[in-house]
Structure 1
Amino acid sequence: MLGNQVWRFLTKPNSLVSKVYKARYFLNENYLDSSAGHNPSFVWRSIWKAGDVVKAGVHWVVGSGEMINIGTTMGGDDEILKDLFNDRDQDCIRSVPLNEDMRQYRIYWSKESSGEYSVRSAYRLLQVQKALWRQEDNDSFWRKIWKIRALPKLVDGDGDSSWVKPHESIIKVSVDATTFREYSGSGMGVIVIDAGELAEALAIKEALSWIKNQGWQGVIVESDFLVAVQAIRSKAPMVSPFGRVIEACRAMLRDLNTVSLFFIKRSANVAAHELARVSYSIPDRVFDWSFVPIGAFNALKADLLS
């Protein structure tokens, strides 16, 4: 529980408690660089020791990077690219979109998708550090413990287990994403029918961006990733990279007031999943009916004929 106080030092440095401890124990530095000091109180010594596990899970959202000193001058990118990659790969790397949100840097807790510290994830990290956590032995047991809660809230239209044809005046957009562990990459698929953790959120964001660019009205967007759908509906702030994508989705949905987002089961999202699976070998493509990959085509045909 002391980890919660450490997290407050890091995220709420202007609170009264943070100012008192800073004045006493780390006046000329931030908490991450602090030491126990000479003759520390029992409370400070306990909080400082609890900081070890918090520090292990802290990551940075860089933003513009102006406030983070990495100890070297950033430069020579083009020269490095030319030395290490061929012309095609250089073009691909340069075409990667940069962070659209260049707000000031901040930290986030890397063990939760929301970016906020939790005792649950800190406990698990501590067990991993002590080599007391074996994935295969503990996952099922602790999943039951931590998930003792009410069922997730769904809205009318959520939870379909088979694909449902939209009404005549409605456009339906189904999205899915997949990861390619062997290539350390991910891909996404978006299916438009007229009348993962981060990759899945990016798939929804790309679908919303596409809808906005097309100027479509009366659109249903479906995803089989419940965590992302619920996060987008929530008003809770999220500071992690996943959370920043979620916030971008929220902003677009506020502008797209005739677009609705629903959760569906994987069994109702087979076509988008099949398209996501082939996205690594055929990136940056838009298909019409004549050239849809066979797996997605079969799934689409089954949906439309059902």
Structure 2
Amino acid sequence: MAKMLANRMKTLMGDLISESQSAFIPGRLITDNILVAAEVGHYLNRKQCGVVGWSAQKLDMSKAYDRMEWTFLERMLIEASVIKQCLVRYDKLSGQVVNYNKSNICFSRNTHEEDRTQVASCLEVEQATNFEKYLGLPSFVGRNKRDVFSYVEEKISQRIGSWSKKLLSQAGKEVLLKSVAQSMPTFSMSVFLLPETICQSIERTMNKFWWENGRERGIHWKAWDRLCFPKKFGGLGFKELRAFNLAMLGKQACRFLTNPGSLAARIYKARYYPTTSFVDATIGNCPSFCWRSIMAAHAIVTAGVRRRIGNGQTTLIWGHPWLPDNPSPLVQTDIPEELREARIAGLIDPRTNTWDPLILSDLFILEDVNRIIMIPVSPDYDDSWYWMGDPKGTYTVKTTLIGVLLEILRITQRVEVDPICPMCALDHEDVLHALVFCEYSTLIWNITQLPITNIATDSFSTWLMGALAVLTEEKSRLLVAVLYHIWRGRNSAVWKGAMMRPADVARGATASMQAYGSAHHRQALPDPTPMTGTKTHGNLRCYVDAGFQQGTGEATYGIVLISQEESFIAAKNGKSPFCFSPLMAEALAYKEALSWLLERNITSVCLLTDCMVLRSAVQQQNTPIYSYVGVMVDQCRTLMSLFSHISLNYVPR
């Protein structure tokens, strides 16, 4: 019962609970309060001049998970006696009790000492030089940043030192480092940019623990930065702490763009970029350490965000990234000086709510025109920012971290590769030569007696398609097995300086093919059915699917309508508009299916899709979708409201 009530009230909590409550509400982060407190502490510390002094009071409530109501704190700045009366009255009305032993008050530097003593005595709280720690993090950071954040390094060193190396395998060490040690600084890194010396010291501690075995010191066979690469790129997937810190701060920076109405975003905008957007913000004069930390990720965020075009009222034609990334998200046409502040709304025909072809052809080069007409126009929606690296437009630390590490790998990789074939040492190596035309490979193909060596081409893909066209299914399996074993032989020649006999390679390929066949013996597959636990409405089922080509953005859709007796009723297929992601193609296909069903006067149906992400996006209305997919999903929900009975279920392929 409690779970049911909580789920029903979840959609109302954001409107009922004050925006000053940053935790326990979807879409809000408790770190917003830390950012606000740090900015207040920074202001009090640098306030040295003026007649009027300022103070900030830190209150500790005796009951957990409760908050101070702002209605009781509005008069706190009038005089200290009124504050005391407000707190006493608040205690009586709310049933909460302020813990004065843990509460304190701090003042700006220009506040006189006698005023400080009088106010603190009236409130019965202690004076503090600053907030000390708020929610476990320092509220003010001075010049000696290593001393301020030394507690992070000490906690991790103590935790790693308590683990017994003698009783742990390498797999056990990996689990402990990833799940415990590397997660400990996450909270601090989400708000502050830790000094690079602390990150390096923590990494040295983890590296030492990884290579040591019992009392032996151990040899560090590989540098730590190489172990931090993802496993598919030859690393072990450990976190590079500096890159992880920037990725965490990027989440805060991206929220300033996607959620500008939050309390923290409005405070920082009023302080640091009152007349511009976060994209054009600078560090400014006398910034707080929180703002410096967020600005460290400014370049990462601005490079990864894009504008989602709605009505075009707030997006600059030449100043914002809003086009497909080939070659750049910015308009390539030279900017006319009189149109420097022009908005995209001027490019849209208000009668048809589509792009105006005459204006486009007059202002832009053909390349830009072709890219502009790919962008969908949604006049009923405002323009907004979204993260390009995620189909839903939501910033994710994981994808950002991988992107930073890959950039590091691209910059640091300086390996000279010998172009000579390592197997025959007679010709330059490419894929076709190594797998087909090398003397060593030719001997293996002759032993297998597969009729493929006479295919004349200079492209391996063409050769492979021609070979598969003339071979039976069984021989095609042998072909794949031989290619795999030739490649293993080539790697053995490169890294070990040794090669197997051609006859042994052929026998190994045959054995692998037979083992694969026995392990993957075909069995009759059951007919696909909707995911268990779902209820279908009506007698009709409608299957929806989409196709997407990543390189060009082209998308297609297919719809099949089937009766309860499994008999075919109707079908439709076609080409969708330009799409940015497979999820967008699936959403457009689902929207097309709904419109098609309504045209046929069908209002009771069960729709089935193989896209679990789309099904979750349609049903979870509390999770915001910032990309163009959000517009499509919202339009799908509007169409679904026109049905008497409708359900969207997942069906596996």
TM-score computed with the length of structure 1 as normaliser? 0.65
Larger Rg: 2
Cross-structure match for 1:188: 557
**Structure 1 residues not aligned, in runs of 5+:** 85-89, 134-159, 267-306
Secondary structure at the aligned position of 2:297 is classed as: helix
* Aligned with residue 640 of structure 2, among 229, 253, 257: 253
Q: Deviations over 1:119-178 (max 9, x none)?
A: 222222322333469xxxxxxxxxxxxxxxxxxxxxxxxxx962469x9x6111111111
* Aligned with residue 77 of structure 1, among 348, 352, 357: 357
Separation (CA, whole Å) in 1 of partners of 2:529 and 2:640: 22
Q: Deviations over 1:230-263 (max 9, x none)?
A: 1111112212111221222222223323122111
Separation (CA, whole Å) in 2 of partners of 1:70 and 1:170: 50
* Conserved 8 A contact 1:113-1:243: no
* Aligned with residue 125 of structure 1, among 381, 403, 406: 403
How is 1:157-172 mapped onto 2 (pairs within 5 angstroms)?
Answer: 162-163=527-528, 170-172=539-541
Counterpart of 1:198, as a letter, is M
How is 1:221-300 mapped onto 2 (pairs within 5 angstroms)?
Answer: 221-235=607-621, 236-266=623-653
Secondary structure at the aligned position of 1:261 is classed as: strand
Separation (CA, whole Å) in 1 of partners of 2:258 and 2:529: 45
- Distance change in 2, residues 1:44/1:186 (3 Å): same
Secondary structure at the aligned position of 2:385 is classed as: strand
Cross-structure match for 1:26: 273
* Conserved 8 A contact 1:161-1:265: no
- Distance change in 2, residues 1:33/1:98 (3 Å): closer
- Distance change in 2, residues 1:61/1:79 (3 Å): closer
Secondary structure at the aligned position of 1:216 is classed as: coil
Does structure 1 residue 53 correspond to structure 2 residue 300? yes
Counterpart of 2:293, as a letter, is S
* Aligned with residue 3 of structure 1, among 227, 236, 250: 250
* Conserved 8 A contact 2:310-2:378: no
- Distance change in 2, residues 1:108/1:221 (3 Å): same
Separation (CA, whole Å) in 2 of partners of 1:14 and 1:180: 37
Separation (CA, whole Å) in 2 of partners of 1:97 and 1:193: 34
**Structure 2 residues not aligned, in runs of 5+:** 1-247, 319-338, 348-355, 412-524, 531-535, 565-581
TM-score computed with the length of structure 2 as normaliser? 0.32
Cross-structure match for 1:143: none
Separation (CA, whole Å) in 2 of partners of 1:14 and 1:80: 34
Does structure 1 residue 13 correspond to structure 2 residue 260? yes
Separation (CA, whole Å) in 2 of partners of 1:100 and 1:173: 27
Cross-structure match for 2:203: none
Does structure 1 residue 179 correspond to structure 2 residue 543? no
Secondary structure at the aligned position of 1:197 is classed as: helix
Q: Deviations over 1:180-223 (max 9, x none)?
A: 45654111111111333211111111101111222213311111
What percentage of aligned pairs have identical amino acids?
30
Counterpart of 1:230, as a letter, is S
- Distance change in 2, residues 1:110/1:170 (3 Å): same
Does structure 1 residue 210 correspond to structure 2 residue 596? yes
Counterpart of 1:51, as a letter, is H
- Distance change in 2, residues 1:188/1:7 (3 Å): same
Shift of 1:80: 6.4
Secondary structure at the aligned position of 2:381 is classed as: coil
Q: Deviations over 1:254-284 (max 9, x none)?
A: 3323122111111xxxxxxxxxxxxxxxxxx
Shift of 1:39: 4.2
- Distance change in 2, residues 1:68/1:217 (3 Å): closer
Secondary structure at the aligned position of 1:250 is classed as: helix
Separation (CA, whole Å) in 2 of partners of 1:132 and 1:197: 29
- Distance change in 2, residues 1:9/1:100 (3 Å): closer
* Conserved 8 A contact 1:162-1:265: no
Cross-structure match for 1:40: 287
- Distance change in 2, residues 1:14/1:179 (3 Å): closer
* Conserved 8 A contact 1:219-1:259: yes
